[in-house]
Amino acid sequence: MKSSMLLWRLLPYVSKAAAKAQMEFDYDGPSMKTAVPGPRSQELTKQLGDIQNVGAVNFFCNYEESRGNYLVDVDGNRMLDIYTQISSIPIGYNHPALLKLMTNPNNLSTFVNRPALGILPPENFPDKIAESLLSVAPSGMTRVQTMACGSCSNENAYKAMFIWYRNKERGYKTPSDEDHSTCMINQAPGCPDLSILSFMGAFHGRTMGCLATTHSKVIHKLDVPSFDWPIAPFPKLQYPLEEFTRENALEEARCLEEVEDLIVKWRQKGKPVAGIVIEPIQAEGGDNHASPDFFRRLRDIARKHGCAFHVDEVQTGGGGTGKFWAHEHWGMDDPADIVSFSKKLLTGGYYHKDELQPYRIFNTWMGDPSKNLFLSEVLNVIRRENLLEEVTRSGKALLNGLYELQAQYPGILSRARGQGTFCAIDICDGATRDTILVKARDKGVLLGGCGDRSIRFRPALVFKEYHVHLLLNIFNDVLANHK
């Protein structure tokens, strides 16, 4: 390790102030008026509770008053939002560029008339898709299918992989009469016994197929029937990564070996692996990283065994890691056969190779053209304001600050890690993590948990160094007062 790195990791965190961000639509800082949830939030929770389950509701929001990096609640509390609606707000609240779109009369029909895109797309649809999603297509991909949300993107991507795999097996011949009759009664060969290999700790959504590949928390899976599909270990790395390269390489090699064993085992069981699905950074499962080399070798294993390689960028996509796609950090020309997205992209969907052409993938909406309008504008803002560079800069300040805090509070904090502003840190145990999240919120910083005892940082792309220091000062306060 470089001595300068060692030095800043050992120095205590001292309050820093960065130049105030030049953002006309941001507030100056948090402002707290009541405990959260405040009285109005509690009243509304009770009212909604008579209609639906409110077990997960934190508080009610005032989206009109929210701006930039700040979420305002119905009791007038203004919080620096580093959770951003589960990592799905790309350029902050009420960005003027997005509000302007709503005032353009030419866009009105797109907002008012939601089409069944698969059968009746609007005239400007090809242009708008080219302007938005195709302009950020992953390397080697020229085709994209929009969908509504992350789970439905993954669910349909899995179907596309199965259909592709069966077509290969059939030698691209028309399905037989037996295929037709058996599929209607859920039997093989029409409904073939194929599988998707996923990783322990993964989160790919909660619909039935996705859930079979989700292994982050018991609560998501309990009581729901699932498939007998192979689950490989995801590398458990030591951080900072650059200090444990040898140990981590051994751990990654162990996991890759297991992947190959599982592929062989499931083929022998008569349930061949049609596809491998993986997140570039396991997010819900605790912000678990792996090296570019791990992903390159996994891609090779998929190729060698004839499995499609699906990279789930639902949480990592859209710039939070400092590159538009997290898989760009792997430096590959041909990173995947499928890349799914949602959240910061505002629309769900997936890019795919030509041969995974998803005919027979269909539903009513298949996305929403109004989201493509917003996405085009988000991409303009990202380019115009060099937001990926900003994320890299803010991310460095954030991770360095977390290293400093970790050195200062070794009994509470460990395993600071991150790429861009997509950062996380572990807390000594789950209960302390939950207390710290509440205390930070009381001081006006909204953070989220992930895994058993991690805190994840998921700011918008307009989160500047100035906001990093605001956050670190408040986080430091919470830690200093933690008993």
Ligand X SMILES: Cc1ncc(COP(=O)(O)O)c(C=O)c1O
**Among positions 134, 149, 332, 407, the unique one binding ligand X when judged by CB under 6 A:** 149
* Distance of closest approach, residue 150 Cβ to ligand X, in angstroms: 2
Q: 172, 127, 40: which is closest to 373 by C-alpha?
A: 127
Sorted by sequence, the CB contacts under 8 Å of residue 121 that are 6+ apart come out as: 115, 369
Beta strands (DSSP E) in 410-453 are 413-419, 422-427, 445-446, 448-450
- Return the residue of 37, 205, 367, 369 that touches ligand X, per CB under 6 A: 205
Q: Which of 343, 344, 371, 464 is catalytic?
A: 343
Q: What is the DSSP letter of 458?
A: -
User: 3-state class of 185 per DSSP?
Assistant: coil
Measured distance CA(54)–CA(49) in Å, rounded: 5
Residues 13-72 that bind ligand X (CB under 6 A): none
Residue 368 lies near ligand X (rule: CB under 6 A): no
Question: What are the beta bridge partners of residue 144?
Answer: 351
Question: Closest distance between ligand X and the C-beta of residue 216, in Å?
Answer: 9
Q: Which of 312, 337, 368, 426 does the annotation list as catalytic?
A: 312
The binder of ligand X chosen from 216, 315, 473, 476 (CB under 6 A): 315
Q: Does residue 347 interact with ligand X by CB under 6 A?
A: no
Q: Which of 89, 144, 278, 314 binds ligand X (CB under 6 A)?
A: 314
* Range in contact with ligand X (rule: CB under 6 A) among 66-74, 145-153, 184-192, 395-403: 145-153
Q: To the nearest whole angstrom, how small is the minimum distance from the Cβ of residue 23 to ligand X?
A: 27
Binding part of the chain for ligand X, among 181-189, 241-249, 279-287, 367-375 by CB under 6 A, reads 279-287
Q: Any catalytic annotation for residue 347?
A: no
Q: Using CB positions, name the residue nearest to ligand X.
A: 150
Residues 283, 346, 416, 479: which binds ligand X (CB under 6 A)? 283
Considering the complex, state which of residue 283 and residue 302 has its C-beta at the smaller distance from ligand X: 283
Q: Which amino acid, 236?
A: K
Q: Identify the residue among 75, 279, 377, 404 touching ligand X (CB under 6 A).
A: 279
Contact with ligand X (CB under 6 A) among 41, 66, 110, 154: 154
Given 60, 203, 341, 475, the residue binding ligand X (CB under 6 A): 203
Nearest to 398 by CA among 32, 82, 97: 82
How far is it, in rounded angstroms, from Cα 51 to Cα 350? Answer: 34
- Contact between 342 and ligand X per CB under 6 A: yes
Contact pattern from residue 214 through residue 233 relative to ligand X, giving x for each residue in contact according to CB under 6 A and a dash for the rest: --------------------
Q: Is 312 in the site for ligand X (CB under 6 A)?
A: yes
Please give the sequence-ordered ranges of beta strands (E in DSSP) within 313-388, or none if there are none.
Answer: 338-341, 348-352
Q: Which stretch binds ligand X (CB under 6 A): 3-11, 311-319, 385-393, 414-422?
A: 311-319
- The region of 114-122, 147-155, 246-254, 411-419 touching ligand X under the rule CB under 6 A is 147-155
204 lies in the site for ligand X, by CB under 6 A: yes
Q: Which of 203, 234, 295, 457 is catalytic?
A: 203
Give the nearest distance from C-beta 114 to ligand X in angstroms: 18
Asked if residues 313 and 339 have their Cβ atoms less than 8 Å apart, the reply is yes
Give the separation between CA 191 and CA 139, rounded to whole angstroms.
33
The reply on whether position 419 binds ligand X by CB under 6 A is no
396 assigned to active site: no
Contact 455/447 with Cβ under 8 angstroms? yes
CA distance readout (Å), 397 to 424, 469, 473:
13, 8, 13
Task: Please select the residue that binds ligand X; options are 284, 377, 390, 404, rule is CB under 6 A.
Answer: 284
Residues 343, 89: Cα–Cα separation, whole Å: 7
- Minimum distance from CB of 205 to ligand X (Å)? 4
The angle subtended at Cα 284 by Cα 133 and Cα 49, nearest 5°, is 95
Closest CA to 350 of 170, 156, 108, 61: 156
Q: Is the separation of the CB atoms in 307 and 273 below 8 Å? A: yes
Please, are residues 49 and 61 in contact by the beta-carbon 8 Å criterion?
no
- Catalytic status, residue 312: yes
CB of 214 to ligand X, least distance (A): 8
Please list the residues that pair with 455 across neighbouring strands: 425, 449
Residue 405 phi, psi dihedral angles, 5° rounding? -65, -35
Give backbone dihedrals phi and psi of 274, rounded to 5 degrees, phi first: -80, -30
Q: Which is nearer to ligand X, 62 or 363 (CB)?
A: 363
| Active-site residue flag, 25 | no
Percent composition of the chain: helix, strand, coil (DSSP 3-state, to 5): 40, 15, 45
The amino acid present at 44, given as its one-letter code, is L
Active site members:
203, 312, 343, 364
**Contact residues for ligand X (CB under 6 A)?**
86, 149-151, 154, 203-205, 279, 283-284, 312, 314-315, 342
